[in-house]
Amino acid sequence: MTALRGRPLVAGAAAGAALVLDEPLSLWGGLDPETGEIIDRRHPQLGECVTGRVLVLPVGRGSSSASSILLEAVRLGTAPAAILLAELDAILALGGVVARELYDRAPPVLVLEPEAYRALRTGMRVTVGADGELAVSS
């Protein structure tokens, strides 16, 4: 088991299998909040489901509406278990903050140091602690 650390933008605890995206993703038009499926036809992970997984991505892409898509996915129960970012993304964090306020639940959103981000692979088991500690196992 490897211990890593992230900076929480939205604090919380979660666990799940990692889904590491090769490219940024715009949730607006790129994620179906009803199914949790990536629907951006140009995205390398087209067809993957984020529901209950630890979504690892460089940063969100584009629209300020991404926060509303994350909010809707939380409401419908199709959101990722956690979101781990290589770069700060205030729009994704906003979706988590509003979800916590409205629904009393939200995926933790953390920014990782470069070496921690590079260490993650799809399928790894990731446990996110409320303090930003990550426990990772293959």
Residues taking part in catalysis: 63
> What is the distance of C-alpha 96 from the center of its chain?
10
With contact defined as beta carbons under 8 Å apart, do 128 and 108 qualify? yes
Element (H, E) at 75: helix 66-76
Taking alpha carbons only, the member of 23, 2, 9 closest to residue 110 is 9
Q: Is the Cα dihedral 28, 88, 17, 116 positive or negative?
A: positive
Whole-angstrom distance, CA of residue 103 vs CA of residue 114:
32
